């Protein structure tokens, strides 16, 4: 019995000494933590999606606190988080809530395939090996690479062969845009009004457009001529709407022979897209 008590006493004494030593070393070698890093990290949603360009929320918080990253790069957090982080850092935020949209409406029965594809069933592999599986070289190949990288369950492949965005779940993180080899996804503001064109086929020959996609823009420019506000112009073979002038009169929608134009406000829950080329378009679900 005495041996047991002596052993326990020795163990407790040893533990106390080791703990005391560790505490002293911790104090001696402690690295000061910027309280702003902790505050910024607590303000972030914790998705660790990498959309900000950093490995995770911790790395992004450190970069923001060090002044090495803007305060509005957290796409899942949106405008609210950007403003919160901006207040913590004493700067202004310009972020607005965005979502991802698809720039193709070439469903299976509208956009024919080149032939039977027997390679690796991914969009990137098909792009590298064949340049694309559809006659429309700008079209979605439908293998769903984008759905696999979506961390918020906001993208699902439809029976029509295109990925569909669930706008109730989409955070605008941009992972799908980075993954798509056809560059068919873009980030778009949630709230916009006006007329939108739903085709990205830049072929200027009508016969070739209709051969590759039955719902393609045939470049007839009826929309350009009919617009009373003169806010539609052709850019790289695609009609472009100037939303600073567009009144959503709907005349371009009525005049479009292939129904490429739509009024955004009639498409429930669907945002207008802003492309790098300046072309505006609506999602493929239209």
What integer pLDDT is reported at residue 279 of this predicted model?
40
Same domain membership, residue 130 and residue 199: yes
Same domain membership, residue 216 and residue 92: no
- 98-121: average pLDDT: 87
What integer pLDDT is reported at residue 37 of this predicted model?
86
- Determine contact, residues 100/174, Cβ cutoff 8 Å: yes
State phi, psi for 11 to the nearest 5 degrees.
Answer: -65, -45
Q: Does the structure show a pLDDT above 50 at 2?
A: yes
Question: Is position 10 within any domain?
Answer: no
Residue 36 — very low, low, confident or very high, per pLDDT cuts 50/70/90? confident
Same domain membership, residue 128 and residue 72: no
Same domain membership, residue 158 and residue 264: yes
How many residues belong to the chain? 286
Question: Is position 3 within any domain?
Answer: no
Same domain membership, residue 160 and residue 146: yes
What integer pLDDT is reported at residue 148 of this predicted model?
94
- 182-200: average pLDDT: 75
Domain end call among 96, 117, 140:
96
Question: Is position 15 within any domain?
Answer: no
In the chain, % of residues over pLDDT 90: 21
Question: Is position 151 within any domain?
Answer: yes
Split into its structural domains, the chain has a count of: 2
- Work out whether the CA dihedral 22, 25, 29, 34 comes out positive or negative: positive
Q: Which two tokens stand for residue 97?
A: 């809530």
Gap between the Cα atoms of 187 and 190, Å rounded: 9
The tens digit of pLDDT for each residue in 68-87 reads 888 888 888 888 888 888 88
Write out the residue range of the structural domain in which residue 42 sits: 35-96
The tens digit of pLDDT for each residue in 61-72 reads 888 888 788 888
- Determine contact, residues 197/260, Cβ cutoff 8 Å: yes
Q: What is the CATH number of the domain that holds 104?
A: 3.30.70.20
- Determine contact, residues 273/283, Cβ cutoff 8 Å: yes
Residue 282 — very low, low, confident or very high, per pLDDT cuts 50/70/90? very low
Same domain membership, residue 266 and residue 163: yes
Gap between the Cα atoms of 82 and 159, Å rounded: 37
Strand partners, 157: 163
Domain end call among 43, 77, 96:
96
Same domain membership, residue 48 and residue 134: no
Same domain membership, residue 267 and residue 225: yes
Q: Does the structure show a pLDDT above 50 at 286?
A: no
């Amino acid at each position: 019995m005495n041996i047991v008590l002596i052993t326990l006493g020795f163990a407790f004494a040893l533990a106390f000494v080791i703990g005391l030593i560790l505490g002293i070393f911790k104090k001696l070698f402690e690295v000061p933590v910027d309280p702003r890093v902790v505050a910024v990290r607590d303000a972030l949603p914790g998705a660790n999606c990498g959309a900000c360009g950093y490995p995770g929320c911790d790395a992004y918080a450190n970069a923001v606190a060090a002044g090495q990253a803007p305060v509005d790069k957290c796409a899942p957090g949106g405008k609210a988080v950007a403003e919160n982080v901006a207040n913590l850092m004493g700067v202004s935020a310009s972020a607005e809530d965005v979502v991802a949209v698809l720039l193709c409406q070439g469903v299976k029965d509208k956009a024919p395939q080149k032939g039977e594809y027997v390679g690796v069933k991914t969009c990137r592999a098909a792009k590298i090996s064949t340049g694309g599986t559809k006659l429309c070289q700008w079209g979605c190949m439908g293998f769903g690479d984008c759905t696999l990288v979506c961390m918020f369950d906001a993208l699902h492949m439809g029976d029509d062969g295109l990925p569909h965005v669930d706008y109730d779940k989409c955070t605008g993180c941009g992972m799908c845009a980075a993954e798509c080899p056809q560059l068919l996804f873009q980030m778009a503001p949630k709230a916009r009004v006006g007329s939108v064109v739903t085709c990205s086929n830049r072929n200027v020959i009508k016969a070739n457009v209709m051969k590759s996609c039955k719902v393609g823009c045939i470049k007839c420019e009826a929309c350009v001529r009919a617009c009373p506000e003169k806010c539609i112009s052709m850019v790289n073979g695609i009609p472009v709407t100037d939303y600073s002038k567009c009144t959503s009169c709907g005349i371009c929608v009525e005049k479009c022979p292939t129904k490429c134009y739509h009024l955004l406000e009639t498409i429930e829950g669907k945002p207008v897209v802003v492309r790098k080329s300046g072309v505006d378009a609506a999602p493929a679900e239209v």
